[in-house]
Amino acid sequence: MEESTEGLSTTLWYGSPTWYSSPALFRGDENSWGQELSGTTWQSNHDVMGVETSIGVSGALAMPMSQVDPVGAVPRPVGVDELDRVLQGGLVPGSVTLFAGEPGIGKSTLVLQALLSIARQGRRVLLFSAEESAQQVRARAERLGDQSDELFIMAGANIESLLPAVERVRPEVVAVDSIQTVFHQGSSSLPGSTTQVRDCTVRLIALAKSSGIAVMVVSHVTKDGLIAGPRLLEHLVDTVVMFEGERYHALRMLRTLKHRFGSTGEVGLFEMEECGLRAMPDPSSMLLADRISGFPGGVVTVLLEGTRPLLVEVQALVSPRGDGDSGRLAVQGIDAKRLAMVVAVLESRMGIGFGNTAIFASAVGGVTVKEPAADLALALALVAARLDSPVSPTTVIFGEVGLAGEIRRVPRMPQRLAEAFKLGFREAIVPYPAQEIPSGMKIVKVETISDAVAYVASSSRNCSSSTSRSEASSS
């Protein structure tokens, strides 16, 4: 049965005995999955939600290689720039994207902003909300200052009730919030259990592949374990994006863990504000805004988030420890194993003792440092804290520290230096002279940790120890 709907060239197959009754789905011609949607191909048969028929649409027909469409999946922009950057263009029709993150990080907000943005383009979307009522979703949208009648909201938890709604609404994008709260009646397990989460995901994949709808799935992750979370679903879905940040800081980072339609290198940077998530125009400036210069133990490093350099202050504090005190290292935003390694190198290669002290290290502003490029900054922050001798506030430091005390190169050094220069830093302590050094920037090349410590010790003799707001970050 053919039915043409306003604004969409949509073909519906009502009551067809099997899921694959559309020849278009096999042939890969107009309106089929994998093509950009001018309309959407609809399958109303309820087997779409059945597990048995859920996988294998794209592999249904063997064909000579030359007949395979070389273009493949074409992403459609969401209109939220940082999200489109991470997804390398947007959501691909017929794909399933998992939005994972800790509770409270902002997944529902991000997904709603994405839906509203798509809806504003005149493209219909459907939110299946299993955690919040329709009123709560509307209130959130009002808080975000956005409304659109192309956004349909359905509060419910039974995944089988979604298909009839999809048939009625005919959206281009469906979002499910969250996978831990939806359930499938056929399964006796509780919502959130491994079985339920997997079964429901498989059904959503079937829906996406058979209809060409892009499906967004919210998934909670706990700090320690990834129970019934993205790890369980990673191999099933097309894309996994992880939303990260510290709950009490505004900075939010969006990374791809897996992406079938592009690379996973890009990172989206957002700020959580009163009325939603906003792209950060200049994250380095924001991260350095509250810096106090002259504090012995504060060192600025340049991380690479995706392809973007990000200036972050690494802080260390070394305090005497009583005999009965437990816990020698405490970290915030720094990997404890990395810190332990840097401390061990300083102790064994430099003879700088940290015995009977408690060591605190943190990355400021809610950033989580994952790159070894921050090692050298961390090492010099520790030395500065230990010796109570600050590093110049206009010096930026990066490099990986090896176990022999050698300083190793890190990727994209010119970009890191350029960003530091832009923010007012005029000296850099780095592993190797970069090819393109900003004119007006002094480069101090260090080969070992001893070189670096010796340089900082000699230059800090001329440095005032008064504490004041940094000038480097405000230029």
CA distance 111 to 128: 11
276 binds ligand TYD (CB under 6 A): yes
- Check residue 268 for interaction with ligand TYD (CB under 6 A): no
Interface with ligand TYD (CB under 6 A), residue total 15
- CB nearest Mg ion: which residue? 108
Stretch touching ligand TYD by CB under 6 A, among 83-91, 115-123, 274-282, 454-462: 274-282
Please report whether residue 252 would count as binding ligand TYD according to CB under 6 A.
no
The residue among 241 and 376 lying less far from ligand TYD, judged by its C-beta, is 241
* Interface with ligand TYD, residue 175, by CB under 6 A: no
Q: Which of 237, 272, 312, 429 binds ligand TYD (CB under 6 A)?
A: 272
Q: How far is CA 213 from CA 130, 176, 448, in A?
A: 19, 13, 55
Least Cα distance to 104 among 293, 244, 255 occurs for: 244
Judged by CB under 6 A, the stretch of 5-13, 28-36, 43-51, 102-110 that binds ligand TYD is 102-110
Q: What are 349's two structure tokens?
A: 């290669």
When asked if residue 470 is in the footprint of Mg ion (CB under 5 A), the reply is: no
Among residues 254 and 428, whose Cβ is nearest to Mg ion? 254
* 41: Cβ contacts below 8 Å, ≥ 6 apart: 10, 11, 22, 24, 25, 31, 32, 33, 210, 211, 212
Minimum separation from the CB atom of position 250 to ligand TYD (A) = 8
Please identify, using beta-carbon distances, which residue of 94 and 106 lies nearer to ligand TYD.
106
CB 312 within 8 A of CB 303: yes
270/455 with CB nearer ligand TYD: 270
Candidates 12, 86, 105, 339; binder of ligand TYD (CB under 6 A) is: 105
**CA 263 → CA 28, 33, 90, 240, distances in Å?**
25, 22, 13, 12
The SS3 of residue 108 is helix
Does residue 219 belong to the site contacting Mg ion (CB under 5 A)?
Answer: no
Sequence-distant (≥ 6) Cβ neighbours of residue 29 within 8 angstroms: none
Q: Is residue 229 at the binding interface for ligand TYD, with CB under 6 A as the rule? A: no
Q: Which stretch binds ligand TYD (CB under 6 A): 140-148, 253-261, 375-383, 454-462?
A: 140-148
Alpha carbon distance 174, 196 (integer Å): 19
Q: Among 22, 35, 108, 293, which residue sits at the site for Mg ion (rule: CB under 5 A)?
A: 108
Q: How far is the CB of 453 from Mg ion (least distance, A)?
A: 47
CB crowding 29-45: b at 16 or more within 10 Å, else e:
eebbbbbebebbbbbbb
109 near Mg ion, judged by CB under 5 A: no
CB atoms under 10 Å from CB of 412, counted, come to 16
CB of 178 to Mg ion, least distance (A): 6
Q: Report d(CA 221, CA 245) in Å as an integer.
A: 13
* Contact residues: Mg ion, CB under 5 A: 108
* Contact residues: ligand TYD, CB under 6 A: 101, 103-109, 140, 143-144, 272, 274-276
